[in-house]
């Protein structure tokens, strides 16, 4: 009934969809197995993509030829570029999305690819021969053969949902959990753990009084995620709102604490610190008498509202009573209560940088199964796992991103070397080369790599090359074009910056913090005329590169230092235990993580500088 | 623990001969800039134009100041131990000189080598077989154990506390910034830029003090440099011997027997004094004039204390008072010591004592009144500096990290001045933390995140 697939992807969330698409696009025969064809690419949590650090990841996925950016653009209802007041490394695209259209666009994209087949059933077991994956077994007992398998089970592995004292099995509310895989993996020698996450209640938008809330508008000139021309920016945007909890809300919530699974010890899994439930916030930050609530519409054609900031697993009656004390929520009707969910994950230190497991060849893990949280984090892992599953089954070299290449590189390197005790979310502060890993240059950083892998199209490569060439030409032009004191000094004083005494090139003026190209072009007509020849994207790119030149150079120098260590490869079967000079902890950690390069070894906690020196001594002989 | 080893593009420096006293010390540099850096501070031939495997005589200078006369051996890449450019500088075997030279090179851009790093480079460039490699690995292992132990001992001296405090302030500072960057959309409150500037300036002051204490630290480690000056045959070597209680200097009645600098460490009241006996010079009767052309004057200026010894039986008091005037004007703590009281009548000595209360009268030969001399010496070097329990930096690698911390902090201030946004500020703050981390153990971004989550309510 089934052909031998190159790649079987188990799970069709953000990770699974990217994995299936990437492998299929590169030429693999792919089977996407999901328990429910109607919930492909569900946004299980809030209907939004991007945000600080996450927006950068979406742009990186897009630059490599993944789909998340395009899908997001097509289902967007509001766009904001966050952190505009900060430096360019912090600018972060964020969108509010139509939950149903998002899922629909993903399904259409996958259906448009002839290399993707679908199968709706629970996968309950893996077929393993001699420590190598050979397919999956379904709930009905069907064996489907494959050269590789990507597991993207999300919160479904032994998922347990908690609402107050109620507790039931499920992967999302209203959907069954998945059993069998964890048990089999443990039997195969994997280490497993439990994690916890949660969602807030959804309410009926018709029952809210928006006049009591602050409106959060989209940007006046909305941008988009994808570098391609497959999508366009929004002409019309949906509002969001902000409101606040208050003392009364907190007091009511506290009455339910004795029935909270968080506090009475029924939930064992560790939840994310940075996505705390409202009860956690009240408990840990008792001195604060209000917390922000983001009121987010779920789409163009629905009245459902996502109450962001009010994640809770308190009993539904307490949730209901408390929410109605929030300004604007006095008459709120609830569609569904918030809940907490516990699920299995596998500490990601058991993986290689390709996201292939160390124990079983050709088996890949991506998304929450690796202990991460967030659509963007999941999608990027799916992309890398899918690409590498394809590469391995076609005897192509692995596709790896370095910490200096992309947030995706930081994410995977962190997971594999440090593991994670709580759901891992990306922050810009995790990236040591934050200034280089910007959303505006994701294409310049990555599209060539994606193109080489057969994922990013020729057209994307051309667009990137054009942008790059145009930017260089503009930067050169800004060096040549000079402004005179007579034409500009009056304006300089207005901008509270020193006047000039003689003619000066625009690129020098641009380094002043008070001045941008948009200011300068207003002061100088020839400059304005010259800039008119360039696109806004190119102008922005050139401006960043000129303005922050010295900082970017400093960071580039650090990258070179770091990467010199990345070039020392360590054989995968290297015998750490046989080197007596290594420290005991270093020996054990190195043996467990099995770093692929000296650079990777240097980031493993517990490995000392002396250990590294000793390793280098042994390497290469 | 990023960028900590195998930074192959830079030039490293270390003392190649054992730490401590020896006639000659060899300082080794390896890396692309080894030769050009040396050439910058070397007065002699243009080293960049010399052939490999050649030796050159000259002086190492810090600006106009001569640190030492040296022999420089050149090994041009790849014909060297590490297969990089290697320079070996042979200096006189004083740890003071060695430290001055190494410090000078660090200022010029070299980096102190980590344990085993020369060997590591040699290995990476393919100089060893496996058996040798194993031996080297064991060596690095024991080396790092020893240096770790040494560092721990130093940490107990209060250094640790001060750096820890500094670091935690900085982490707090950094996490405030990271917080604003990563969670800028939420209603968290941040410290103002003025507060941040205050903090950085405070930190900078502490770092400056620590950097300043490096010289003091060296004094403690290597002794208070003390010069004994005086006319030939005033009894300098005899005094030294009396203090030492052993015959180290060659003593004779023939003036000018002491041919070279003799350095000796003498423990007085728990402080190590490094006594430097200047050569008595016969060419001129004017000691100070003679010093003007020799290394003696350099020694004088770098000394923390000068003892001027004169013979009470000497009749040419005019010359002595001229010497005294000149020495007093050097700005170095100065003590006049009248020698050979045993050859004078006690009444005269008693009168002299009354007339010259700031002069100590002794007999080096008979070991008379040496305790009074020792007491006065202890008074004269500013012991407060040593006894306040303040943090003192003595390790050259710590010094290096502090200098880099200072630079990063200055970059932060500069960023504040030009009103750069926090993502750029954060980069310089992280660099500061990184360099402080080299002293205290590593900082990772996890520290920042942990700090954020323990202190602030964030996350939707």
pLDDT at A264: 75
The answer to whether B137 contacts chain A (CB < 8 Å) is yes
Would you place residue B169 in the very low, low, confident or very high pLDDT band (cuts 50, 70, 90)? confident
Distant-in-sequence, close-in-space partners of A502: CB < 8 Å, separation ≥ 6: A485
Tell me whether A81 touches chain B (CB under 8 Å).
no
Q: Express each pLDDT in B391-419 by its tens digit.
A: 556 566 677 778 888 998 899 898 888 87
Instruction: Mark B66-82 as b/e (b = at least 16 C-beta within 10 Å).
Output: ebbebebbbbbbeebbb
Domain count, chain B: 3
| Confidence at B83, pLDDT banded by 50, 70, 90 | confident
Q: What CATH number should be reported for the domain whose range is A202-340?
A: 2.40.30.260
On whether both B397 and B376 belong to a single domain, the answer is no
Q: Within a domain: residue B453?
A: no
Query: Is residue A271 pLDDT above 80, yes or no?
Result: no
Q: What is the DSSP string of A266-312?
A: ---SBPPTTS--HHHHHHHTTT----EEEEEE--TT--EEEEET---
- Compare B314 and A400 and report the one with higher pLDDT: A400
Specify whether the backbone of A444 is left (phi greater than 0), alpha (psi in -120 to 50) or beta: alpha
Residue in chain B lying closest to A421 (CA): B446
Question: B23 CB near a chain A CB, below 8 Å?
Answer: no
pLDDT band at B234 (very low <50, low <70, confident <90, very high): confident
Phi-psi region of B65 (alpha: psi -120 to 50; beta: other; left: phi over 0): beta
Range of the domain at B147: 133-213+392-441
Sign, CA dihedral B227-B385-B434-B19, equals positive
Which helix (H) or strand (E) segment holds residue A32: the answer is strand A30-34
Average pLDDT over residues B72-84: 88
Q: Which of A121-130, B179-188, B435-444 has the highest mean pLDDT?
A: A121-130
Is residue A34 pLDDT above 90, yes or no?
Answer: yes
Classify residue A4 by burial, with Cβ atoms within 10 Å: 0-12, 13-18, 19+. exposed
Q: Is residue B28 part of a domain?
A: yes
Identify the three-state secondary structure at position A372.
Answer: strand
How many C-beta atoms lie closer than 10 Å to residue A340's C-beta? 26
Distance CA A77, CA A233 (A): 10
Q: Give the model's pLDDT for residue B186.
A: 58
Query: Does residue B450 belong to any structural domain of this protein?
Result: no
- pLDDT given for residue B247 in this prediction: 38
β A193-199/A166-169 pair status: unpaired
Written as one string, the DSSP assignment of A452-506 is HTT-S-HHHHHHHHHHHHHHHHHHHHHHH-EE-HHHHHHHHHHTT----SS-EEH
- CATH code at B374? 3.40.50.300
pLDDT higher than 70, residue B301? no
Tell me the mean pLDDT in the region A85-112: 95
Q: How many CB pairs under 8 A join A and B?
A: 170
For testing the chain A interface, which of B32, B176, B423, B437 should be mutated: the one with the most A CBs within 10 Å? B423
Q: Do B460 and A602 touch (CB under 8 A)?
A: no
Using one digit for the tens of pLDDT, what is the confidence trace for A180-223?
A: 999 999 999 999 999 999 899 999 999 999 999 999 999 999 99
Domain parsing of chain A, residue ranges: 5-49+65-72+103-197+343-424, 202-340, 459-550, 568-619
CA distances from A298 to A78, A216, A366, B62, B324 (A): 11, 15, 26, 70, 91
Q: Is the Cβ–Cβ distance between A129 and A342 less than 8 Å?
A: no
Residues B202, B119, single domain; the answer is no
- By the 8 A CB rule, do A133 and A392 touch? no
Q: Do B67 and B174 reside in the same domain of the chain?
A: no
Residue B354's pLDDT band, with cuts at 50, 70 and 90, is confident
Look up residue A218 and give its DSSP letter.
P
**A217 Cβ contact partners less than 8 Å away, ≥ 6 residues apart:** A237, A239
Q: Which CATH superfamily is A5-49+65-72+103-197+343-424 part of?
A: FAD/NAD(P)-binding domain (3.50.50.60)
Residue B426: which CATH number? 1.20.120.430
Which residue, A243, A264, A169, is CA-closest to A200?
Answer: A243
Within-domain flag for B319 = yes
Tell me the shortest Cα–Cα distance from A281 to chain B, in angstroms: 7
In this prediction, what percent of chain A has a pLDDT beyond 70? 98
For residue B451, list chain A residues with Cβ-Cβ distance below 8 A. none
Same domain for B374 and B252: yes
Exposed e or buried b per residue across A378-396, where buried means at least 16 C-beta atoms within 10 angstroms of its C-beta: bbbbbbbbbbbbbbbbeee
For residue range B238-278, what is the model confidence (pLDDT) as tens digits? 887 777 664 343 333 344 433 344 456 676 765 667 777 66
Scored b (16 or more CB within 10 A) or e, A423-436 reads: bbbbbbbbbbbbbb
Decide which of A301 and B380 is more confident: A301
Enumerate the residues of chain A whose CB falls inside 8 A of the CB of residue B9: 560-561, 564
What tens digit of pLDDT does each residue of B316-336 get?
Answer: 777 777 778 877 777 778 888
Instruction: Quickly state the pLDDT bin for B188 (edges 50, 70, 90).
Output: low
| pLDDT at site B385 | 52
- pLDDT at residue B109, rounded to an integer: 86
Min Cα–Cα distance to chain B from A235, Å: 24
CB burial of residue A14 (10 Å; 0-12, 13-18, 19+): buried
Asked if residues A416 and A352 have their Cβ atoms less than 8 Å apart, the reply is yes
Q: Which of A131, A132, A147 is nearest to A9 (CA)?
A: A147
CATH of the domain at B73: 3.30.1360.120
The DSSP H or E segment spanning A442 is helix A442-452
Is A284 annotated in a binding site? The answer is: yes
Q: What is the pLDDT of residues A554-592, one digit of tens each?
A: 888 878 877 777 777 888 888 888 877 777 788 888 888
Q: What per-residue confidence (pLDDT) applies to B274?
A: 76
Tell me the C-alpha distance between B369 and B361, whole Å: 7
Report chain B residues whose CB lies below 8 A from the CB of A579: 137
Hey, what are A448's tokens? 């060539």
Is the domain of B359 the same as that of B407?
no
Q: Spell B162-175 as b/e; 16+ CB within 10 A means b.
A: ebeebbeebbbbbb
Mean pLDDT value of segment B430-440: 75
- Residue given tokens 């980031």 in the structure block: A603
Q: How confident is the model at residue B129 (pLDDT cuts 50, 70, 90)?
A: low
Is B446 part of any domain?
no
What mean pLDDT, rounded, does chain A reach?
92
Interchain pair B181, A52: CB under 8 A: yes
Which of A613 and B235 is assigned the larger pLDDT?
Answer: B235
Angle at A234 between CA A228 and CA A237, to 5 degrees: 150
User: Shortest CA distance to A111 belongs to which of A67, A172, A61, A150?
Assistant: A67
Q: Which of residues 429-458 of B touch A (CB under 8 A)?
A: 430, 444-446, 448-449, 453, 457-458
Strand order in the sheet with A76-82: A48-50, A92-97, A76-82
Average pLDDT of span A254-268: 84
Other CB atoms within 10 Å distance of the CB of residue A326: 24
CATH number assigned to the domain covering A459-550: 1.10.10.1800
Q: Are residues B161 and B257 in the same domain?
A: no
| Same domain for B120 and B9 | yes
* Burial track A176-198 (b if 16+ CB lie within 10 A, e otherwise): ebbebbbeebeeeebebbebbbb
* Residues from chain B contacting residue A311 (CB–CB below 8 Å): 460
Answer yes or no: are the C-beta atoms of A444 and A468 closer than 8 Å: yes
B182/A146: higher pLDDT: A146
Statement to judge: residues B401 and B424 lie in one domain? yes
CA distance A315 to chain B (A): 20
How would residue A161 be classed by pLDDT, with cut points 50, 70 and 90?
very high
**Contact (CB<8Å) B460/A558:** no
Mutant choice from A307, A617, A618, A619 vs B, greatest count of B C-beta within 10 A: A617
Kindly state whether residue B455 falls inside one of the protein's structural domains.
no
B459 within a domain of the structure (yes/no) = no
Q: Beta strand pairing status for B359-361 and B334-339?
A: parallel
Distance, CA of A133 to CA of A189 (rounded, Å): 14
Quick check: is B166 in a domain?
yes
Last residue of a domain, one of B385, B413, B432: B385
Judged by DSSP in three states, B458 sits in: coil
Per-residue model confidence (pLDDT) at position A357: 97
- The shortest CB-CB distance from A82 to any of B126, B185, B459 is to B185
Distance CA B4, CA A370 (A): 29
CATH fold of A568-619: DNA polymerase; domain 1 (1.10.150)
B226 and B305 housed in the same domain: yes
Say whether residue B5 is in contact with chain A using an 8 A CB cutoff: yes
Does A16 count as an annotated binding residue? yes
Over residues A407-430, the pLDDT tens digits come to 999 999 999 988 888 899 999 988
Judged by CB atoms closer than 8 Å, whether chains meet at B114 and A613 is answered as yes
> Residue A480: which residues within 8 A CB-CB, separation 6 or more?
A505
According to DSSP, residue A37 is labeled G
Residues B98 and B178 in one domain: no
In this structure, the answer to whether residues B246 and B361 fall within a common structural domain is: yes
How far is CA B401 from each of CA B210, B344, B407, rounded to the nearest angstrom? 11, 57, 10
Before B78, cis peptide (omega within 30)?
yes
Question: Does residue B173 register a pLDDT over 80?
Answer: no
Answer whether residue B161 shows pLDDT above 70: no
Distance CA B218, CA B393 (A): 8
Q: Which DSSP string do the residues of A193-216 spell out, in sequence order?
A: EEEEEEE--EEEGGG--GGGSEEE
Q: Are residues B369 and B247 in the same domain?
A: yes
């Amino acid at each position: 009934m089934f052909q031998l697939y190159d790649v079987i992807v188990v799970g069709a969330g953000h990770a699974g969809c990217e994995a299936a698409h990437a492998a299929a696009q590169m030429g693999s025969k792919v089977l996407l197995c999901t328990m429910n064809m109607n919930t492909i690419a569900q946004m299980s949590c809030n209907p939004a993509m991007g945000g600080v650090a996450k927006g950068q990841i979406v742009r990186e996925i897009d630059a490599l030829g993944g789909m998340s950016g395009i899908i997001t653009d097509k289902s967007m209802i509001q766009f904001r570029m966050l952190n505009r007041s900060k430096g360019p490394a912090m600018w972060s695209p964020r969108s509010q999305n139509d939950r149903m259209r998002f899922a629909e666009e993903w399904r259409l994209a996958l259906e448009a690819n002839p290399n993707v087949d679908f199968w709706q059933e629970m996968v309950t077991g893996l077929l393993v021969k001699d420590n190598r994956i050979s397919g999956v077994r379904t709930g009905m007992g069907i064996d489907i053969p494959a050269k590789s398998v990507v597991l993207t089970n999300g919160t479904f592995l032994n998922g347990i949902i908690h609402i107050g004292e109620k507790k039931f099995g499920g992967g999302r509310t209203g959907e069954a959990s998945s059993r069998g895989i964890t048990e089999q993996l443990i039997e195969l020698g994997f280490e497993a753990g439990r994690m916890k996450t949660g969602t807030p209640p959804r309410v009926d938008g018709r029952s809210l009084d928006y006049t009591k809330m602050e409106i959060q508008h989209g940007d006046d000139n909305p941008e988009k995620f994808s570098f391609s021309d497959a999508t366009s920016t929004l002409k019309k945007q949906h509002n969001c709102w902000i409101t606040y909890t208050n003392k009364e809300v907190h007091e009511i919530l506290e009455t339910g604490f004795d029935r909270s699974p968080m506090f009475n010890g029924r939930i064992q899994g560790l939840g994310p610190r940075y996505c705390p439930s409202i009860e956690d916030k009240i408990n840990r930050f008792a001195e604060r008498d209000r917390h922000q609530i983001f009121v987010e519409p779920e789409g163009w054609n629905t009245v459902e509202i996502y109450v962001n900031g009010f994640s809770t697993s308190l009993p539904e009656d307490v949730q209901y009573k408390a929410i109605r004390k929030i300004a604007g929520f006095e008459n709120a009707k609830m569609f569904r209560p918030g809940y907490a969910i516990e699920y299995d994950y596998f500490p990601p230190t058991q993986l290689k940088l390709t996201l292939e497991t160390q124990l079983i060849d050709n088996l890949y893990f991506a998304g929450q199964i690796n202990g991460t949280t967030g659509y963007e984090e999941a999608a990027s892992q799916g992309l890398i796992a899918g690409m590498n599953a394809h590469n391995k089954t076609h005897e192509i070299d692995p596709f790896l991103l370095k910490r200096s290449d992309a947030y995706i590189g930081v994410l995977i390197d962190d997971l594999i070397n440090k593991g994670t005790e709580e759901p891992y979310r990306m922050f810009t502060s995790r990236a040591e080369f934050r200034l280089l890993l910007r959303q505006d240059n994701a294409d310049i950083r990555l599209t060539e790599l994606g193109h080489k892998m057969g994922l990013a199209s020729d057209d994307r490569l051309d667009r990137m090359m054009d942008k790059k060439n145009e930017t260089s030409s503009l930067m050169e032009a800004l060096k040549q074009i000079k402004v005179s004191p007579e034409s500009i000094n009056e304006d300089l004083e207005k901008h509270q910056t020193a006047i000039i005494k003689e003619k000066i090139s625009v690129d020098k003026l641009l380094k002043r913090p008070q001045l941008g190209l948009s200011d300068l072009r207003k002061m100088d007509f020839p400059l304005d005329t010259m800039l008119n020849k360039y696109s806004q994207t190119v102008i922005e790119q050139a401006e960043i590169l000129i303005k922050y030149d010295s900082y970017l150079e400093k960071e580039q120098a650090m990258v070179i230092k770091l990467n010199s260590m990345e070039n020392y490869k360590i054989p995968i079967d290297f015998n750490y235990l046989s080197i007596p000079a290594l420290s005991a902890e270093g020996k054990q950690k190195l043996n467990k993580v099995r770093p692929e390069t000296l650079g990777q070894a240097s980031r493993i906690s517990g490995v000392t500088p002396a250990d590294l020196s000793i390793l280098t001594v042994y390497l290469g002989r | 623990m990023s960028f900590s080893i195998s930074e192959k593009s830079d030039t490293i420096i270390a003392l190649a001969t054992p730490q401590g006293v020896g006639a000659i010390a060899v300082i080794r540099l390896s890396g692309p800039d080894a030769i050009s850096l040396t050439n910058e501070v070397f007065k002699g031939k243009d080293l960049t134009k010399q052939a490999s495997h050649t030796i050159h005589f000259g002086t190492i200078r810090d600006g106009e100041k001569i640190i030492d006369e040296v022999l420089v051996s050149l090994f041009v890449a790849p014909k060297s131990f590490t297969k990089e450019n290697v320079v070996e500088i042979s200096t006189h075997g004083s740890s003071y000189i060695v430290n001055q030279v190494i410090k000078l090179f660090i200022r010029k851009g070299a980096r102190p080598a980590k344990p085993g790093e020369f060997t590591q480079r040699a290995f990476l460039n393919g100089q060893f077989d496996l058996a040798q490699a194993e031996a080297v690995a064991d060596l690095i292992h024991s080396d790092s154990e020893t240096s770790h132990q040494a560092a721990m001992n130093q940490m107990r001296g209060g250094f640790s506390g001060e750096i820890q405090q500094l670091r935690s302030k900085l982490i707090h500072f950094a996490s405030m910034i990271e917080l604003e960057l990563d969670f800028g959309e939420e209603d968290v409150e941040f410290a103002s830029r003025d507060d941040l500037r205050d903090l950085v300036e405070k930190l900078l002051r502490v770092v400056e003090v620590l950097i300043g204490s490096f010289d003091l630290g060296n004094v403690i480690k290597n002794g208070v440099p003390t010069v004994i000056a005086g006319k030939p045959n005033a009894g300098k070597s005899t005094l030294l011997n009396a203090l030492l209680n052993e015959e180290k200097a060659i003593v004779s009645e023939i003036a000018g027997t002491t041919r070279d600098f003799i350095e000796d460490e003498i423990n007085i009241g728990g402080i190590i004094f490094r006594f430097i006996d200047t050569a008595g010079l016969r060419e001129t009767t004017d000691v100070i004039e003679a010093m003007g052309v020799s290394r003696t004057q350099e020694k004088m200026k770098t000394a923390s204390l000068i003892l001027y010894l004169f013979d009470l039986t000497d009749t040419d008091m005019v010359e002595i008072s001229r010497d005294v005037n000149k020495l007093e004007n050097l700005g170095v703590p100065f003590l006049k010591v009248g020698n050979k009281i045993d050859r004078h009548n006690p009444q005269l000595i008693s009168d002299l004592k009354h007339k010259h209360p700031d002069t100590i009268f002794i007999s080096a030969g008979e070991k008379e009144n040496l305790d009074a001399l020792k007491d006065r010496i202890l008074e004269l070097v500013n012991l407060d500096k040593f006894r306040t329990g303040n943090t003192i930096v003595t390790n050259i690698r710590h010094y290096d990290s502090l200098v880099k911390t200072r630079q990063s902090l200055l970059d932060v201030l500069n960023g504040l001045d030009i009103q750069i946004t926090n993502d750029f500020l954060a980069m310089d703050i992280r660099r500061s933390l990184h360099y402080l981390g080299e002293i205290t153990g590593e900082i990772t971004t996890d520290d920042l995140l942990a700090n954020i989550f323990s202190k602030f309510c964030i996350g939707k």
